Homo-oligomer: A and B are copies of this chain.
C-alpha cells in the first residue's frame, strides 16, 4: 500500500466560537505498517461535542488536541492491510482514527464489528459510544424505576434519543428537551417520548413544568446552562442527575446556575461521567442495545455530511444544534 490520503488537522485553537479556519486539510503519505498495526480505510467519522473541549488548551478531563495533528475522532471503516493476527483485509472495524480518510492503529485499539447485522454507521451511534453513554448514565446513575419521570436534554441527539427510549422501556415517563418543532415532533412521534419541550420558544421553565406535572426523578443532562437550571428547579426529592455534557459552556464563558440549592433542598445525587472511563460496562450495554435495535424497539436517526472536507462545517453545525440525530461524515 502506498500513496497519499487526506486528513484534517487542528490549525489553531478557537477564541470563542469555532471557525472553519481552526482546521486545515492536508495530504499525507500512507505509512508503512509495523508489527501489530492495522491500516484502515475510514468510511464514517463521528462528530461529537467533546471535540470542542479538546480544541482548547484549558484544563479538561482529557489532554488537549495537539496543533497540526489529526483531529481526534471515532471512525468506522474496513481493514486494508494488517500486521495484527486478529484482523484481515475486509474486516469491518471501529476505532479512533480521527478526521482522516485512512489511518493506522494498533490492533489492540480497534473493535471488530458485524456489518451484516447492523449498518456500519450504527457502530458510531446507537451501537457505539453514544449508545453506551446513554445506557450508562441511565442505568448506573439515574437508576430508573417504573413511574419515574426522566428528562433528557438534546433529546433528538445520538445520546438523548437512546436515553428517552430506554427510560420508556423501563416504564418511565420520558420527557425530552430539544430545539425547534421539527426535532420535538421527531422525539415524540418517532422515538415515542411522552413529551418534548422546545427550548427555542424561550420559556423552558414554564413548558418544562407543564411537561413534568409530577416533577423530575431522573435528569440526563447533555447541555447545561439555562436548560439545566430550569430542570434543577423541577427535581423531586432524592432525584438523580447524570451530567454528561455542557455544550453551553464550551463556547468559553461558563453559564451561571441559579438553582444549585435544589441539590440540598431535594437531597439530589449528581454525578459527572466520561464513558471511556467505564469500559467494564461496554459489553453488557452493547449486547442489550444491539438486541433492542434488532427487535425494532430502539430507533435512531443520522445526519450525514458527504466527504471529509465537509467535516469542519458539519462540526460547527453540531455545536449550534443544526444536526438531527447522530452527526456523521461519510467518506468515499
Contact = CB atoms under 8 A, between A and B. Distances in A.
Contacts of A59: 265
Copies of this chain in its oligomeric complex: 2
Contact of A269 (B244, B245, B267, B271): B271
A274 B272 CA distance: 22
Interface of A (DSSP majority class): loop
Contacts of A237: 61
Contact of A267 (B263, B265, B273): B273
B271 A268 contact: yes
A60 interface: yes
Interface in A256-276: 256-261, 263-274
A255 to B, nearest CB: 8
A267 B260 contact: no
The bracket for how many chain A residues form the interface is 20 to 34
A244 B264 contact: yes
A205 to B, nearest CB: 14
Contacts of A272: 263-268
B246 A254 contact: no
A209 to B, nearest CB: 13
A243 interface: yes
A84 to B, nearest CB: 32
Contacts of A245: 264
A259 B264 CA distance: 17
Interface in A101-118: none
B254 A260 contact: yes
18 contacts: A59-B265, A60-B265, A61-B264, A61-B267, A224-B260, A228-B260, A245-B264, A246-B260, A246-B261, A246-B264, A254-B258, A260-B260, A263-B271, A263-B272, A265-B272, A267-B273, A269-B269, A270-B270
Interface of A: 59-61, 224, 228, 237, 243-246, 249, 254, 256-261, 263-274, 277
Given A61-B237, A249-B261, A270-B270, 8 more contacts: A257-B257, A257-B258, A263-B272, A266-B272, A267-B271, A267-B274, A268-B272, A269-B269
